[in-house]
Amino acid sequence: MVAAATAPLPRGATGAGESVEIRGVSHAFRLRGEPLPVLDRVDFRVEPGELVALVGPSGCGKSTLLRLLAGLDAPAHGSVWSGGRLVSGPDPSRVLVFQDPTLYPWRTVRDNVALGPHARGELKGARARVDDALRLVGLESFSSAYPHQLSGGMAQRAALARALVNDPRVLLLDEPLGMLDALTRVAMQDEILALWRRAGFTALLVTHDVEEALLMASRVLVFSSRPARVEAVVPVELAYPRDRADPRFTRLRRDVLDLCMRASRARSPA
Amino acid sequence: MWIEERSTEAAAIEPVIAADDAPPAVRPPVAGVVAGAAWLAAAAVTVKWPDLEETPHTSTLAALQVAIGLTALALSVGAPWLRAAGRRLRVAAPWLLALALWVTGWQLATAKLGLLPRPFFAPPQALIEVYVEDWRRLLECTAHSLALLGAGFLIGGLAGFGAGVAIGWSRAAAYWGHPLLRLVGPVPATAWLPLAFFVFPSSRSASVFLIALAAGIPVAVLTWSGVAGVKNAYYDIARTLGASPRFLVLRVAIPAALPHVFVGLFMGLCASFSVLVVAEMLGVKAGLGWYLSWAQGWAAYVNMFAALLFMALVFCGLIALLFAARDRLLGWQSGLVRW
């Protein structure tokens, strides 16, 4: 689909991912005055440049975890660290990609991709980087199109370019492929993987597709249902590109699915 | 899921140019010819059928009808060479035909057969007489009205937009502004009229205030709802990419709310028309509203009809201007309502 593995990276890409650490984080929402616990003493560490998948029952709090990591919300208890520094607010070195591409409909694809540099007042020096990012996701000929003219896959690629143009050290992917059709999804998995292997950022991928997690991640964290805690950590020691038909792959998939089943039963309000 | 419908990527972006490049259509534009003939026939009725009373501009009306008829005929015959104008005529032809019939029916009911009571219902030629004799006063009144409306709408629009953005964005502004808007909003601007004429030094400044109030409230309410309704994810994205609060307001909240703002401006413009006319009828001694009440005072019903028609055209033109501005600014939106 896109020659992501051969296209040049955005100019100035350092390729240095940062470690990410969650220390004893508990978090709760208030729902009609009642506290609703979503995270329960979550602890884990992601090494620099690692791609870790977070799987678990839907609505268990994985997205909340990513929001805490992005610095959009502060945890009620515990702390969130990135590159050895306490996360106290949003920072362009940690970029979120949502399930919904959330492109601004009033901006062209190019202006959407240039959002980060524009927001930081660095638009002038970023022209070449924006072009590179567009080329990286194969959207250079659609740069003056508006989002409503794009297909779902193209919109999500534009969202990815909008994240990558900032040369993030940590990429937080919140079910980025959840709304795509099966074919586009498979193609985008390869693209993201290729980008990650070349750029070397740290990536956290929230997904509820176990196969996707096993195809892409070096470790899979299995979460329980709400309030979420890490139930199991499954290392995936298979070389890239991974083969879905590999017996070790199918065994891992069965194991992780089993873990997921058990994890979602563990806390069901029965 | 809305994005999936647009997966025909190339087709969505390719502009439609086929219509312009196609060879001229061979089929004759029948509708245009019929409409042109109808206007010529209407002219014949105007000239040949004697009026009940002598009216000076019957021949002017006939000349006008002949001109319209000939233009329509020329455009339909020349349609294959006239591209845009020819296509536009084809669209307008049914309306042209209907108008020819309407003018003839109107004439029969008034000048020719006298079916409608005379002083209250005037024939079309009498309207022409008003436009020919009194155009200077009508234009002066229009200029007065536009100046008053312009001042009031500009002040009201800007104040309403500012208030709407503030209430939609800032919690403190919402705390103080929301109750005020809720209390003042439902009161029709015309209800302030007696007070305004009493408080303000001149009837002009009072009218500007009233028009600004009438325009400002819908603009404020819709801008506010537009800003308040901006998706949180839009802010989240910009915040993670390093946006300042200023950027969030100017580059995220306001562009996202702009479609709402234009609905507010449209409603505000319509409301300000109504206040303008009332203010001119009651206090200001100029403008189209004043012309209407003046015409009524002198039982000059023809002048009233002429001014009403003229007012309709002027106000319709203003709204068309507003929509043109919107189309320029909101070209990114799909499925815009055309004016």
| CATH 1.10.3720.10 in chain B, residue ranges | 124-329
pLDDT digits (tens, 9 = 90+) for B255-283: 999 999 999 999 999 999 999 999 999 88
CB B298 within 8 A of CB B119: no
Decide if A90 and B4 are in contact by the 8 Å CB cutoff. no
Q: Does A176 touch chain B (CB under 8 A)?
A: no
Decide if A98 and B334 are in contact by the 8 Å CB cutoff. no
Sign of CA dihedral B6, B7, B8, B9: positive
Mean pLDDT of chain A: 85
**Distance between A46 CA and the closest CA of chain B, angstroms:** 20
| Confidence grade of residue B103 (pLDDT, cut at 50, 70, 90) | very high
Asked whether residue A264 carries a pLDDT value surpassing 80, the answer given is no
Chain B interface, mutation test: which of A69, A104, A167, most B Cβ atoms within 10 Å? A104
**Of the candidates B6, B242, B258, which has its C-beta nearest A148's C-beta?**
B6
Q: Does B265 touch chain A (CB under 8 A)?
A: no
Contacts with B240 from chain A: Cβ below 8 Å: 70-72, 90-92, 94-96
**Distance between A98 CA and the closest CA of chain B, angstroms:** 9
Decide if B13 and A142 are in contact by the 8 Å CB cutoff. yes
Asked whether residue A169 carries a pLDDT value surpassing 80, the answer given is yes
| Confidence grade of residue B13 (pLDDT, cut at 50, 70, 90) | very low
Match domain B124-329 to its CATH number in 1.10.3720.10, 2.70.150.10, 1.20.140.10, 3.40.50.2300: 1.10.3720.10
Q: Residue A239 has what pLDDT?
A: 83
Higher confidence at residue B3 or residue A43?
A43
| Confidence grade of residue A195 (pLDDT, cut at 50, 70, 90) | confident
Asked whether residue A2 carries a pLDDT value surpassing 90, the answer given is no
Contacts with A95 from chain B: Cβ below 8 Å: 240-241
Q: Which residues contact B186 (CB under 8 A, 6 or more apart)?
A: none
Q: Does B4 touch chain A (CB under 8 A)?
A: yes
Average pLDDT, integer, range B286-314: 91
Shortest CA distance to A203 belongs to which of A165, A161, A168? A168
Q: Residue A118 has what pLDDT?
A: 94
Q: Residue A178 has what pLDDT?
A: 83
**Of the candidates A100, A145, A151, which has its C-beta nearest B233's C-beta?**
A100
| 3-class secondary-structure state, position A54 | strand
- Among A226-235, B158-167, B286-295, B316-325, whose mean pLDDT is lowest? A226-235
Decide if B240 and A142 are in contact by the 8 Å CB cutoff. no
Average pLDDT, integer, range B39-63: 89
Q: Which residues contact A80 (CB under 8 A, 6 or more apart)?
A: A21, A22, A23, A25, A68, A69, A71, A86, A87
Asked whether residue A35 carries a pLDDT value surpassing 90, the answer given is no
Give the rounded distance of the alpha carbon of A170 from its chain centre: 9
Strand arrangement of the beta sheet that strand A85-86 belongs to: A34-46, A20-31, A77-82, A85-86
Decide if B241 and A115 are in contact by the 8 Å CB cutoff. yes
What distances in angstroms separate CA A67 from CA A61, B301, B310, B321, one per listed residue? Answer: 10, 70, 59, 45
Average pLDDT, integer, range A55-72: 86
Instruction: Mention the CATH class of domain A20-102+169-266.
Output: alpha beta
- Among A12-16, A36-40, B281-285, whose mean pLDDT is lowest? A12-16
| 3-class secondary-structure state, position A111 | helix
What distances in angstroms separate CA B113 from CA A3, A68, B52, B59, B109, one per listed residue? Answer: 81, 83, 7, 18, 6
Q: What is the ipTM of this complex?
A: 0.85
